[in-house]
């Protein structure tokens, strides 16, 4: 039996990487697909661990060879999901986690309709700004760029069957595992009672996206 493919998206600063790391520490059966990027590594990042760091020329060569399941441009750089690793681990029955942005997620949805799409978000725009400014690696102009990018991405939240609010890393990782393990206590995307931190109702997702968008506009106006 083949494994699952799970797409985890969210704004830069939403805490996706930290939550995924906790999920993999606490639960077996998950493997993270390491994305490829043309951006420079941050001080703490290691090639082949957080990302595969490559040149534009290398990345574009792989695009021509159909070496990616998806790829996209994001804040002046390329990001992509190498095809071979994902397909090999799915054949081995593992749940492969893709930490990718909205553009790539929509590409995956087209190619793999059975993929589980989850959007992870902080509770509000002010918290997103706080997390971005708390990064030692983020300059003020880049923080503004990322907030502007979030304003574009927020409208895609209703496209995701699952919205998970990241108020606490442990709780958020637990919510992801409940969704991906098929916990019967978690409601299906089409309806049912909402769990703390998990939103599946379409109207509630739209309302959250609208409130978050308004908050981003206020934060950017004050920046």
Cβ atoms of 180 and 4 closer than 8 Å: yes
Buried b (16+ CB within 10 A) or exposed e, 27-57: eeebbbbbbbbbeeeeeeeeeeebbbbbeee
Cβ atoms of 84 and 62 closer than 8 Å: no
CA 172 to chain centroid = 13
Per-residue model confidence (pLDDT) at position 104: 86
Per-residue model confidence (pLDDT) at position 192: 44
d(CA 68, CA 20): 21
DSSP, res 158: G
The answer to whether residue 133 scores a pLDDT higher than 50 is yes
Q: What is the pLDDT of residues 9-67, one digit of tens each?
A: 999 999 999 999 999 999 989 999 998 999 999 888 899 888 899 999 999 999 999 99
d(CA 106, CA 201): 20
d(CA 165, CA 199): 8
Pick from 184, 180, 133, 141: nearest CA to 30? 180
Alpha helix segments (H runs only) across 37-155: 56-64, 83-91, 102-111, 125-133, 140-153
Per-residue model confidence (pLDDT) at position 136: 61
Buried b (16+ CB within 10 A) or exposed e, 152-175: ebbebbbebbbbbbbeeeebbbbb
* pTM score of the predicted model: 0.85
Order across the sheet with 36-37: list the strands.
52-53, 36-37, 77-82, 68-74
The stretch 154-175 carries a mean pLDDT of: 96
Q: Domains in the chain and their CATH numbers?
A: 5-33+95-222 (3.40.50.300)
């Amino acid at each position: 039996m083949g494994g699952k493919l799970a797409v985890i998206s969210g704004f830069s600063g939403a805490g996706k990487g930290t939550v995924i790391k906790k999920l993999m520490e606490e639960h077996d059966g998950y493997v993270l697909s390491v994305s490829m990027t043309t951006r420079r590594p941050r001080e703490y990042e290691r090639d082949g661990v957080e990302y595969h760091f490559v040149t534009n020329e290398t990345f574009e060569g792989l695009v021509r060879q159909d070496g990616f399941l998806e790829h996209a441009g994001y804040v002046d750089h390329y990001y992509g999901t190498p095809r071979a690793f994902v397909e090999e681990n799915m054949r081995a029955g593992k749940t492969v986690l893709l930490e990718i942005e909205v553009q790539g997620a929509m590409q995956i949805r087209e190619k793999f309709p059975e993929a589980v799409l989850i959007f992870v978000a902080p509770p509000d725009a002010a918290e997103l700004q706080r997390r971005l400014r708390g990064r030692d690696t983020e300059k003020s102009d880049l923080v503004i760029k990322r907030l502007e990018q979030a304003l574009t991405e927020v409208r895609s939240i209703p496209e995701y069957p699952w919205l998970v609010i990241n108020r606490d890393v442990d709780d958020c990782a637990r919510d992801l595992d409940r969704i991906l393990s098929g916990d019967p206590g978690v409601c299906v995307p089409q309806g049912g009672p909402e769990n703390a931190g998990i939103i599946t109702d379409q109207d509630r997702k739209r309302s959250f996206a609208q409130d978050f968008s308004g908050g981003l506009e206020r934060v950017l106006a004050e920046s």
